[in-house]
Copies of this chain bind each other. A is one copy, B any other.
Amino acid sequence: MKVKLAYIANNSVRKATFKRRKKGLLKKTEELRILCGVDACGIIFHPYDPEPEVFPSHIEAQRIISQLRNKSELEQHRRMVSQKDFITQRVTSVNGQIVKQQKEVRHKEMTRIMFQCLNGEGFLHLNMVDLKDLNSLVGQYIIDIDRRIDFLEKNH
């Protein structure tokens, strides 16, 4: 650009430029509306000028603004819903992980108790559920050990 893009200090030059360019902008806006069949509007105003320029018309601008409001409300709603979905998903996922870890912890605990028993340290403070789990665990160990014995017998 030849004329550098900066505030025009000279009052009358600035005013003339404003008038010309405002007209140009208005024209371009109208052309875009017609050529592309879109809703477009513009608002221009000098903070200390009595009459803001609203185009293509005040009524049309208001229509477009309220459309924008509705649309952005919808968008916001959509965003919130998708965020809720995301969080729900995370909660479900984390809950799954917790359950899995609880199972692991219990399994380790049972294993510890089993070996404690094998060392003849007895099992104190165990309720019925614990005993059942322990029984099941011991059963699985025995099955495993049987399998290993079979394997050794077949290979020797």
Contact = CB atoms under 8 A, between A and B. Distances in A.
A43 B28 CA distance: 13
Nearest to A65: B65
Interface residues of A, number: 39
Contacts of A21: 28, 31-32, 35-36
Interface string A21-42: 1101100110110111111111
A71 B52 CA distance: 8
Interface in A57-75: 64-65, 67-68, 71-72, 75
Interface of A: 5-8, 14, 17-18, 21-22, 24-25, 28-29, 31-32, 34-47, 50, 52, 54, 64-65, 67-68, 71-72, 75
